[in-house]
Structure 1
Amino acid sequence: MQAAALLNLLQFASPALPIGAYSYSQGLEGALEAGLVTDAASAGAWITRQLHDVVAQWDAPVCWRLMHAFSRRDADAVAAWSERYLASRDTAEFRAESLQMGYSLSRLVAELGIADPDMAGMLPPETETTLPVAYACAVAALDIPPQEALLAMLFAWAENQVLVCVKSVPLGQVAGQRMLLSLRDEIAAAARHAQQVADDDMGNWAPALSLLSMRHETQYSRLYRS
Protein backbone atom coordinates (compact mmCIF):
# COMPACT_ATOMS: atom_id res chain seq x y z
CA MET A 1 0.00 0.00 0.00
CA GLN A 2 1.02 3.58 -0.60
CA ALA A 3 1.63 5.55 2.59
CA ALA A 4 -1.30 7.89 1.91
CA ALA A 5 -3.73 5.00 1.41
CA LEU A 6 -2.48 3.28 4.57
CA LEU A 7 -2.89 6.44 6.63
CA ASN A 8 -6.39 6.95 5.22
CA LEU A 9 -7.28 3.38 6.12
CA LEU A 10 -5.94 3.74 9.66
CA GLN A 11 -8.05 6.85 10.13
CA PHE A 12 -11.30 5.41 8.82
CA ALA A 13 -10.91 2.06 10.58
CA SER A 14 -10.00 3.66 13.90
CA PRO A 15 -12.19 3.21 17.00
CA ALA A 16 -11.78 6.97 17.42
CA LEU A 17 -13.89 7.61 14.32
CA PRO A 18 -16.92 9.54 15.63
CA ILE A 19 -19.70 7.24 14.44
CA GLY A 20 -20.67 5.62 17.75
CA ALA A 21 -19.58 2.02 17.12
CA TYR A 22 -18.62 1.63 20.80
CA SER A 23 -22.28 1.92 21.83
CA TYR A 24 -23.39 -1.27 20.06
CA SER A 25 -22.73 -4.94 20.86
CA GLN A 26 -24.53 -6.52 17.85
CA GLY A 27 -26.35 -9.05 19.99
CA LEU A 28 -23.45 -9.91 22.27
CA GLU A 29 -24.97 -8.21 25.31
CA GLY A 30 -28.11 -10.28 24.77
CA ALA A 31 -25.97 -13.43 24.69
CA LEU A 32 -24.34 -12.37 27.95
CA GLU A 33 -27.73 -11.84 29.57
CA ALA A 34 -28.91 -15.25 28.35
CA GLY A 35 -25.85 -16.97 29.80
CA LEU A 36 -24.53 -18.03 26.40
CA VAL A 37 -21.28 -16.10 26.96
CA THR A 38 -19.74 -16.40 30.41
CA ASP A 39 -15.96 -16.51 30.06
CA ALA A 40 -13.07 -16.13 27.61
CA ALA A 41 -13.67 -19.50 25.94
CA SER A 42 -17.39 -18.96 25.31
CA ALA A 43 -16.74 -15.35 24.24
CA GLY A 44 -14.16 -16.47 21.70
CA ALA A 45 -16.51 -19.16 20.40
CA TRP A 46 -19.39 -16.66 20.08
CA ILE A 47 -17.30 -14.10 18.18
CA THR A 48 -15.82 -16.74 15.86
CA ARG A 49 -19.22 -18.25 15.06
CA GLN A 50 -20.82 -14.88 14.35
CA LEU A 51 -17.82 -13.84 12.26
CA HIS A 52 -18.11 -16.85 9.95
CA ASP A 53 -21.88 -17.46 9.96
CA VAL A 54 -23.08 -13.86 9.66
CA VAL A 55 -20.38 -11.27 8.98
CA ALA A 56 -18.33 -13.26 6.45
CA GLN A 57 -21.48 -14.63 4.84
CA TRP A 58 -23.34 -11.34 4.44
CA ASP A 59 -21.96 -8.05 5.81
CA ALA A 60 -18.45 -8.43 4.42
CA PRO A 61 -19.47 -9.70 0.95
CA VAL A 62 -21.97 -6.86 0.64
CA CYS A 63 -19.30 -4.34 1.64
CA TRP A 64 -16.88 -5.94 -0.87
CA ARG A 65 -19.40 -5.51 -3.67
CA LEU A 66 -20.20 -1.96 -2.63
CA MET A 67 -16.52 -0.93 -2.63
CA HIS A 68 -16.12 -2.16 -6.19
CA ALA A 69 -19.41 -0.59 -7.25
CA PHE A 70 -18.32 2.82 -5.97
CA SER A 71 -14.92 2.44 -7.67
CA ARG A 72 -16.65 1.67 -10.99
CA ARG A 73 -19.10 4.54 -10.44
CA ASP A 74 -21.87 1.93 -10.84
CA ALA A 75 -24.83 3.72 -9.26
CA ASP A 76 -27.26 0.88 -10.04
CA ALA A 77 -25.12 -1.68 -8.19
CA VAL A 78 -24.71 0.67 -5.22
CA ALA A 79 -28.48 1.16 -5.03
CA ALA A 80 -29.22 -2.55 -5.36
CA TRP A 81 -26.81 -3.71 -2.65
CA SER A 82 -27.77 -0.81 -0.41
CA GLU A 83 -31.44 -1.81 -0.58
CA ARG A 84 -30.64 -5.47 0.04
CA TYR A 85 -28.49 -4.72 3.04
CA LEU A 86 -31.04 -2.42 4.64
CA ALA A 87 -33.77 -5.02 4.07
CA SER A 88 -31.59 -7.62 5.81
CA ARG A 89 -31.66 -5.72 9.12
CA ASP A 90 -34.37 -7.89 10.66
CA THR A 91 -34.76 -6.27 14.07
CA ALA A 92 -35.34 -2.68 15.10
CA GLU A 93 -32.00 -2.52 16.92
CA PHE A 94 -29.94 -3.91 14.05
CA ARG A 95 -31.62 -1.54 11.60
CA ALA A 96 -31.16 1.50 13.87
CA GLU A 97 -27.53 0.55 14.51
CA SER A 98 -26.49 0.45 10.87
CA LEU A 99 -28.51 3.51 9.92
CA GLN A 100 -27.15 5.61 12.79
CA MET A 101 -23.53 4.74 12.06
CA GLY A 102 -24.09 5.02 8.31
CA TYR A 103 -25.61 8.46 8.75
CA SER A 104 -22.73 9.58 10.97
CA LEU A 105 -20.08 8.29 8.57
CA SER A 106 -21.80 9.73 5.49
CA ARG A 107 -22.00 13.12 7.22
CA LEU A 108 -18.30 12.86 8.07
CA VAL A 109 -17.46 12.03 4.44
CA ALA A 110 -19.48 15.04 3.30
CA GLU A 111 -17.99 17.43 5.83
CA LEU A 112 -14.44 16.32 5.03
CA GLY A 113 -15.15 16.70 1.32
CA ILE A 114 -13.33 13.51 0.36
CA ALA A 115 -15.85 12.25 -2.22
CA ASP A 116 -16.33 13.93 -5.60
CA PRO A 117 -19.87 15.04 -6.50
CA ASP A 118 -20.53 12.01 -8.75
CA MET A 119 -19.52 9.54 -6.05
CA ALA A 120 -21.35 11.41 -3.29
CA GLY A 121 -24.42 11.45 -5.52
CA MET A 122 -24.52 7.64 -5.50
CA LEU A 123 -25.16 7.57 -1.75
CA PRO A 124 -28.77 6.91 -0.72
CA PRO A 125 -30.61 9.59 1.26
CA GLU A 126 -28.91 10.13 4.63
CA THR A 127 -31.79 8.49 6.49
CA GLU A 128 -31.32 5.30 4.41
CA THR A 129 -27.51 5.10 4.28
CA THR A 130 -26.21 2.06 6.15
CA LEU A 131 -22.71 1.66 7.53
CA PRO A 132 -21.32 -0.62 4.75
CA VAL A 133 -22.50 1.85 2.10
CA ALA A 134 -20.88 4.87 3.77
CA TYR A 135 -17.69 2.90 4.48
CA ALA A 136 -17.45 1.68 0.89
CA CYS A 137 -17.89 5.23 -0.38
CA ALA A 138 -15.09 6.49 1.87
CA VAL A 139 -12.79 3.64 0.80
CA ALA A 140 -13.34 4.32 -2.90
CA ALA A 141 -13.03 8.10 -2.47
CA LEU A 142 -9.70 7.75 -0.67
CA ASP A 143 -8.29 5.14 -3.10
CA ILE A 144 -7.83 2.56 -0.35
CA PRO A 145 -7.26 -0.94 -1.79
CA PRO A 146 -10.45 -3.00 -1.26
CA GLN A 147 -8.66 -6.07 0.14
CA GLU A 148 -6.99 -4.07 2.90
CA ALA A 149 -10.20 -2.13 3.55
CA LEU A 150 -12.13 -5.39 3.94
CA LEU A 151 -9.60 -6.75 6.43
CA ALA A 152 -9.76 -3.48 8.38
CA MET A 153 -13.56 -3.63 8.48
CA LEU A 154 -13.49 -7.18 9.82
CA PHE A 155 -10.79 -6.37 12.35
CA ALA A 156 -12.74 -3.33 13.58
CA TRP A 157 -15.84 -5.51 14.02
CA ALA A 158 -13.87 -8.12 15.97
CA GLU A 159 -12.13 -5.48 18.07
CA ASN A 160 -15.46 -3.97 19.07
CA GLN A 161 -16.79 -7.40 20.05
CA VAL A 162 -13.71 -8.07 22.16
CA LEU A 163 -14.06 -4.69 23.88
CA VAL A 164 -17.65 -5.59 24.80
CA CYS A 165 -16.31 -8.77 26.39
CA VAL A 166 -13.59 -6.90 28.26
CA LYS A 167 -16.22 -4.62 29.80
CA SER A 168 -19.05 -7.05 30.33
CA VAL A 169 -17.89 -10.67 30.78
CA PRO A 170 -15.66 -9.25 32.25
CA LEU A 171 -12.23 -10.05 30.82
CA GLY A 172 -8.93 -8.43 31.66
CA GLN A 173 -7.23 -6.17 29.15
CA VAL A 174 -4.50 -8.73 28.48
CA ALA A 175 -7.08 -11.49 27.98
CA GLY A 176 -8.88 -9.26 25.52
CA GLN A 177 -5.74 -8.62 23.51
CA ARG A 178 -4.92 -12.33 23.60
CA MET A 179 -8.36 -13.09 22.20
CA LEU A 180 -7.98 -10.46 19.46
CA LEU A 181 -4.61 -11.92 18.52
CA SER A 182 -6.10 -15.43 18.35
CA LEU A 183 -8.77 -14.19 15.91
CA ARG A 184 -6.32 -13.07 13.21
CA ASP A 185 -6.43 -16.31 11.20
CA GLU A 186 -10.23 -16.35 11.49
CA ILE A 187 -10.44 -12.77 10.23
CA ALA A 188 -8.16 -13.54 7.29
CA ALA A 189 -10.28 -16.58 6.40
CA ALA A 190 -13.46 -14.52 6.65
CA ALA A 191 -12.00 -11.92 4.28
CA ARG A 192 -11.07 -14.57 1.72
CA HIS A 193 -14.54 -16.09 1.90
CA ALA A 194 -16.21 -12.69 1.50
CA GLN A 195 -14.29 -12.06 -1.73
CA GLN A 196 -15.13 -15.46 -3.22
CA VAL A 197 -18.71 -16.24 -2.16
CA ALA A 198 -21.27 -16.11 -4.99
CA ASP A 199 -24.28 -13.81 -4.78
CA ASP A 200 -26.71 -16.73 -4.48
CA ASP A 201 -24.73 -18.24 -1.60
CA MET A 202 -24.78 -15.10 0.54
CA GLY A 203 -27.12 -14.72 3.52
CA ASN A 204 -27.46 -13.67 7.14
CA TRP A 205 -29.79 -16.44 8.37
CA ALA A 206 -29.20 -16.44 12.13
CA PRO A 207 -32.60 -16.76 13.86
CA ALA A 208 -31.17 -17.19 17.36
CA LEU A 209 -29.22 -13.95 16.99
CA SER A 210 -32.35 -12.18 15.78
CA LEU A 211 -34.30 -13.45 18.80
CA LEU A 212 -31.57 -12.26 21.16
CA SER A 213 -31.69 -8.85 19.48
CA MET A 214 -35.46 -8.61 19.92
CA ARG A 215 -35.21 -9.61 23.58
CA HIS A 216 -32.49 -7.03 24.10
CA GLU A 217 -34.93 -4.27 23.10
CA THR A 218 -36.71 -4.77 26.44
CA GLN A 219 -33.75 -6.00 28.50
CA TYR A 220 -33.91 -4.31 31.88
CA SER A 221 -30.24 -3.61 32.47
CA ARG A 222 -27.98 -2.89 29.50
CA LEU A 223 -24.97 -0.84 28.48
CA TYR A 224 -25.32 -1.11 24.70
CA ARG A 225 -27.91 -0.09 22.13
CA SER A 226 -27.93 -3.48 20.39
Structure 2
Amino acid sequence: MLREKQNTELLRLLHLASPSLPIGAYTYSQGLEAAIEMGEVKDEASAHAWITESLSVIADFEAPIFWRLLQAFSNRDEQTVTYWTERFIAARDTNEFRAETIQMGYSLNKLVLDLKIADESLQKIMADQVEIPLPTAFAFAAVALEISHEAALLGLLFSIVENQVLVCVKSVPLGQVSGQRLLLSLHPKIEDIAHRAQNLLDDELSNWAPGLSILSMQHEIQYSRIYRS
Protein backbone atom coordinates (compact mmCIF):
# COMPACT_ATOMS: atom_id res chain seq x y z
CA MET A 1 0.00 0.00 0.00
CA LEU A 2 2.82 2.40 0.93
CA ARG A 3 4.73 1.53 -2.24
CA GLU A 4 1.65 2.20 -4.37
CA LYS A 5 1.22 5.61 -2.70
CA GLN A 6 4.89 6.45 -3.31
CA ASN A 7 4.61 5.42 -6.94
CA THR A 8 1.51 7.56 -7.41
CA GLU A 9 3.23 10.57 -5.84
CA LEU A 10 6.29 10.08 -8.05
CA LEU A 11 4.21 9.91 -11.22
CA ARG A 12 2.29 13.04 -10.24
CA LEU A 13 5.54 14.88 -9.48
CA LEU A 14 7.04 13.86 -12.84
CA HIS A 15 3.87 15.10 -14.53
CA LEU A 16 3.95 18.44 -12.74
CA ALA A 17 7.67 19.04 -13.34
CA SER A 18 7.61 17.88 -16.97
CA PRO A 19 8.88 20.30 -19.64
CA SER A 20 5.83 19.28 -21.69
CA LEU A 21 3.51 20.96 -19.17
CA PRO A 22 1.64 23.54 -21.29
CA ILE A 23 2.53 26.68 -19.35
CA GLY A 24 5.06 28.19 -21.78
CA ALA A 25 8.24 27.76 -19.71
CA TYR A 26 10.27 27.08 -22.85
CA THR A 27 9.63 30.63 -24.10
CA TYR A 28 11.56 32.22 -21.21
CA SER A 29 15.27 32.28 -20.37
CA GLN A 30 15.09 34.28 -17.10
CA GLY A 31 17.82 36.70 -18.21
CA LEU A 32 20.08 33.98 -19.60
CA GLU A 33 19.64 35.02 -23.25
CA ALA A 34 20.98 38.50 -22.42
CA ALA A 35 23.98 36.92 -20.68
CA ILE A 36 24.66 34.80 -23.77
CA GLU A 37 24.32 37.85 -26.02
CA MET A 38 26.91 39.73 -23.93
CA GLY A 39 29.33 36.78 -23.93
CA GLU A 40 29.07 36.07 -20.23
CA VAL A 41 27.81 32.54 -20.97
CA LYS A 42 29.71 30.94 -23.84
CA ASP A 43 30.54 27.34 -22.88
CA GLU A 44 29.72 24.59 -20.40
CA ALA A 45 31.87 26.04 -17.61
CA SER A 46 30.37 29.54 -17.84
CA ALA A 47 26.87 28.05 -18.14
CA HIS A 48 27.47 26.10 -14.93
CA ALA A 49 28.68 29.24 -13.17
CA TRP A 50 25.67 31.26 -14.38
CA ILE A 51 23.06 28.69 -13.34
CA THR A 52 24.74 28.12 -9.98
CA GLU A 53 24.72 31.85 -9.26
CA SER A 54 21.08 32.13 -10.36
CA LEU A 55 20.17 29.29 -8.03
CA SER A 56 21.71 31.21 -5.13
CA VAL A 57 19.11 33.94 -5.68
CA ILE A 58 16.32 31.37 -5.91
CA ALA A 59 17.60 29.76 -2.70
CA ASP A 60 17.17 32.99 -0.76
CA PHE A 61 13.79 34.05 -2.09
CA GLU A 62 11.71 32.04 -4.56
CA ALA A 63 12.31 28.63 -2.99
CA PRO A 64 11.56 29.64 0.63
CA ILE A 65 8.44 31.52 -0.48
CA PHE A 66 7.32 28.43 -2.39
CA TRP A 67 7.90 26.36 0.76
CA ARG A 68 5.68 28.74 2.74
CA LEU A 69 3.00 28.60 0.05
CA LEU A 70 2.94 24.80 0.17
CA GLN A 71 2.30 24.89 3.90
CA ALA A 72 -0.33 27.61 3.55
CA PHE A 73 -2.26 25.70 0.91
CA SER A 74 -2.12 22.49 2.93
CA ASN A 75 -3.56 24.38 5.91
CA ARG A 76 -6.14 26.12 3.68
CA ASP A 77 -4.73 29.39 5.01
CA GLU A 78 -5.85 31.95 2.43
CA GLN A 79 -4.41 34.94 4.28
CA THR A 80 -0.90 33.47 4.23
CA VAL A 81 -1.21 32.44 0.58
CA THR A 82 -2.18 36.00 -0.33
CA TYR A 83 0.60 37.48 1.82
CA TRP A 84 3.40 35.55 0.12
CA THR A 85 1.83 35.78 -3.33
CA GLU A 86 1.72 39.57 -3.15
CA ARG A 87 5.27 39.81 -1.86
CA PHE A 88 6.63 37.55 -4.56
CA ILE A 89 4.97 39.59 -7.32
CA ALA A 90 6.17 42.86 -5.76
CA ALA A 91 9.74 41.55 -5.81
CA ARG A 92 9.76 41.02 -9.59
CA ASP A 93 11.91 44.02 -10.44
CA THR A 94 11.63 44.13 -14.23
CA ASN A 95 8.64 44.07 -16.55
CA GLU A 96 9.82 40.83 -18.19
CA PHE A 97 10.27 38.95 -14.92
CA ARG A 98 6.85 40.05 -13.70
CA ALA A 99 5.11 39.14 -16.96
CA GLU A 100 6.87 35.75 -17.01
CA THR A 101 5.71 34.55 -13.61
CA ILE A 102 2.15 35.91 -14.06
CA GLN A 103 1.72 34.28 -17.47
CA MET A 104 2.98 30.88 -16.33
CA GLY A 105 1.05 31.10 -13.08
CA TYR A 106 -2.15 31.91 -14.94
CA SER A 107 -1.61 29.00 -17.36
CA LEU A 108 -0.87 26.46 -14.63
CA ASN A 109 -3.83 27.59 -12.54
CA LYS A 110 -6.14 27.25 -15.55
CA LEU A 111 -4.74 23.79 -16.29
CA VAL A 112 -5.40 22.59 -12.73
CA LEU A 113 -8.96 23.92 -12.88
CA ASP A 114 -9.57 22.34 -16.29
CA LEU A 115 -8.30 18.98 -15.02
CA LYS A 116 -10.63 19.23 -12.00
CA ILE A 117 -8.03 17.93 -9.53
CA ALA A 118 -8.44 20.58 -6.79
CA ASP A 119 -11.12 20.60 -4.11
CA GLU A 120 -13.42 23.58 -3.56
CA SER A 121 -11.44 24.99 -0.64
CA LEU A 122 -8.28 25.18 -2.75
CA GLN A 123 -10.18 26.62 -5.71
CA LYS A 124 -11.64 29.35 -3.51
CA ILE A 125 -8.20 30.44 -2.32
CA MET A 126 -7.02 30.77 -5.92
CA ALA A 127 -10.18 32.54 -7.04
CA ASP A 128 -9.58 35.25 -4.43
CA GLN A 129 -6.05 36.04 -5.68
CA VAL A 130 -5.80 39.21 -7.75
CA GLU A 131 -2.82 37.86 -9.71
CA ILE A 132 -1.20 34.43 -9.64
CA PRO A 133 2.58 33.98 -10.02
CA LEU A 134 4.13 30.63 -10.86
CA PRO A 135 5.21 29.64 -7.30
CA THR A 136 1.63 30.08 -6.08
CA ALA A 137 0.17 28.07 -8.94
CA PHE A 138 2.80 25.34 -8.57
CA ALA A 139 2.12 25.06 -4.84
CA PHE A 140 -1.63 24.94 -5.55
CA ALA A 141 -1.11 22.13 -8.07
CA ALA A 142 1.23 20.17 -5.80
CA VAL A 143 -1.17 20.24 -2.86
CA ALA A 144 -4.11 19.38 -5.12
CA LEU A 145 -2.14 16.36 -6.39
CA GLU A 146 -1.15 15.40 -2.80
CA ILE A 147 2.56 15.61 -3.54
CA SER A 148 4.72 15.92 -0.44
CA HIS A 149 6.20 19.35 0.23
CA GLU A 150 9.78 18.11 -0.02
CA ALA A 151 9.16 16.40 -3.36
CA ALA A 152 7.28 19.41 -4.74
CA LEU A 153 10.15 21.74 -3.81
CA LEU A 154 12.68 19.50 -5.55
CA GLY A 155 10.37 19.27 -8.57
CA LEU A 156 10.06 23.04 -8.92
CA LEU A 157 13.81 23.56 -8.57
CA PHE A 158 14.62 20.83 -11.07
CA SER A 159 12.17 22.26 -13.63
CA ILE A 160 13.80 25.70 -13.30
CA VAL A 161 17.30 24.26 -13.74
CA GLU A 162 16.26 22.02 -16.62
CA ASN A 163 14.80 24.99 -18.47
CA GLN A 164 18.03 26.96 -18.00
CA VAL A 165 20.08 24.05 -19.32
CA LEU A 166 17.81 23.73 -22.36
CA VAL A 167 18.33 27.42 -23.11
CA CYS A 168 22.09 26.82 -23.02
CA VAL A 169 21.85 23.77 -25.26
CA LYS A 170 19.86 25.70 -27.86
CA SER A 171 21.46 29.12 -27.65
CA VAL A 172 25.12 28.92 -26.56
CA PRO A 173 24.96 26.34 -28.13
CA LEU A 174 25.99 23.32 -26.11
CA GLY A 175 25.82 19.73 -27.31
CA GLN A 176 23.23 17.35 -25.92
CA VAL A 177 25.83 15.38 -23.92
CA SER A 178 27.26 18.61 -22.52
CA GLY A 179 23.76 19.71 -21.52
CA GLN A 180 23.06 16.44 -19.72
CA ARG A 181 26.42 16.56 -17.98
CA LEU A 182 25.64 20.10 -16.87
CA LEU A 183 22.20 19.12 -15.57
CA LEU A 184 23.61 16.13 -13.67
CA SER A 185 26.33 18.25 -12.07
CA LEU A 186 23.68 20.61 -10.65
CA HIS A 187 21.79 17.92 -8.71
CA PRO A 188 23.77 18.52 -5.47
CA LYS A 189 23.10 22.26 -5.73
CA ILE A 190 19.37 21.61 -6.08
CA GLU A 191 19.41 19.45 -2.94
CA ASP A 192 21.34 22.12 -1.01
CA ILE A 193 18.85 24.80 -2.03
CA ALA A 194 15.88 22.64 -1.05
CA HIS A 195 17.38 22.18 2.41
CA ARG A 196 18.16 25.90 2.77
CA ALA A 197 14.66 26.94 1.67
CA GLN A 198 13.09 24.95 4.46
CA ASN A 199 15.18 26.64 7.15
CA LEU A 200 15.38 30.33 6.27
CA LEU A 201 13.55 32.73 8.57
CA ASP A 202 11.26 35.39 7.11
CA ASP A 203 13.72 38.23 7.76
CA GLU A 204 16.50 36.29 6.01
CA LEU A 205 14.73 36.26 2.64
CA SER A 206 16.32 38.39 -0.09
CA ASN A 207 16.06 38.72 -3.87
CA TRP A 208 19.07 41.07 -4.13
CA ALA A 209 20.57 40.47 -7.59
CA PRO A 210 21.29 43.81 -9.28
CA GLY A 211 23.36 42.26 -12.07
CA LEU A 212 20.51 39.99 -13.08
CA SER A 213 18.04 42.88 -12.94
CA ILE A 214 20.24 44.96 -15.26
CA LEU A 215 20.56 42.07 -17.72
CA SER A 216 16.80 41.65 -17.71
CA MET A 217 16.26 45.34 -18.47
CA GLN A 218 18.81 45.15 -21.28
CA HIS A 219 17.01 42.12 -22.68
CA GLU A 220 13.77 44.10 -22.85
CA ILE A 221 15.35 46.28 -25.57
CA GLN A 222 17.66 43.64 -27.09
CA TYR A 223 17.42 43.86 -30.88
CA SER A 224 17.50 40.16 -31.72
CA ARG A 225 16.04 37.67 -29.28
CA ILE A 226 14.27 34.31 -29.13
CA TYR A 227 13.01 34.27 -25.56
CA ARG A 228 10.50 36.51 -23.79
CA SER A 229 12.79 37.11 -20.80
TM-score, normalising length from structure 2? 0.96
Q: Which residue of 1 aligns with 2:171?
A: 168
Counterparts of 1:6 and 1:186, CA distance in 2: 21
Q: For residue 63 of structure 2, give the secondary structure of its aligned residue in structure 1.
A: helix
Show structure 2 runs of 5+ residues with no match.
none
Measured after TM superposition, the shift of residue 224 of structure 1 is 0.3
Counterparts of 2:127 and 2:212, CA distance in 1: 27
State how many pairs are aligned. Answer: 225
Matched, 1:186 2:192: no
Counterparts of 2:128 and 2:38, CA distance in 1: 37
Counterparts of 1:126 and 1:164, CA distance in 2: 31
Given the alignment, which residue of 2, 11, 33 partners 1:7?
11
Match of 1:51, as an amino acid? L
Counterparts of 1:197 and 1:55, CA distance in 2: 12
Q: Kindly tell me: are residues 106 and 126 of structure 1, through their superposed partners in 2, closer, same or farther at Cα, counting changes over 3 Å?
A: farther
Q: Which residue of 2 aligns with 1:96?
A: 99
Counterparts of 1:124 and 1:148, CA distance in 2: 25
Measured after TM superposition, the shift of residue 126 of structure 1 is 6.9
Q: Deviations over 1:109-166 (max 9, x none)?
A: 1101111111111115576111000100111111100101101111111100000000
Q: Kindly tell me: are residues 127 and 79 of structure 1, through their superposed partners in 2, closer, same or farther at Cα, counting changes over 3 Å?
A: closer
Q: CA RMSD in A?
A: 1.1
Given the alignment, which residue of 37, 46, 51 partners 1:33?
37
Matched, 1:156 2:159: yes
Q: Kindly tell me: are residues 73 and 58 of structure 1, through their superposed partners in 2, closer, same or farther at Cα, counting changes over 3 Å?
A: same
Percent same amino acid at aligned positions? 58
Counterparts of 2:49 and 2:127, CA distance in 1: 36
Match of 2:123, as an amino acid? A
Q: Deviations over 1:51-84 (max 9, x none)?
A: 01x1111111111100110001111100100000
8 A Cα contact 1:162 1:179, kept in partner: yes
Measured after TM superposition, the shift of residue 221 of structure 1 is 0.7
Q: Which residue of 2 aligns with 1:17?
A: 21
Q: Which residue of 2 aligns with 1:64?
A: 67
Given the alignment, which residue of 73, 80, 84 partners 2:83?
80
Match of 1:7, as an amino acid? L
Counterparts of 1:3 and 1:114, CA distance in 2: 18
Match of 2:34, as an amino acid? G
8 A Cα contact 1:99 1:127, kept in partner: no
Q: Kindly tell me: are residues 156 and 76 of structure 1, through their superposed partners in 2, closer, same or farther at Cα, counting changes over 3 Å?
A: same
Q: For residue 208 of structure 2, give the secondary structure of its aligned residue in structure 1.
A: coil
Which stretches of structure 1, 4 residues or longer, exceed 4 Å deviation after superposition? 124-127
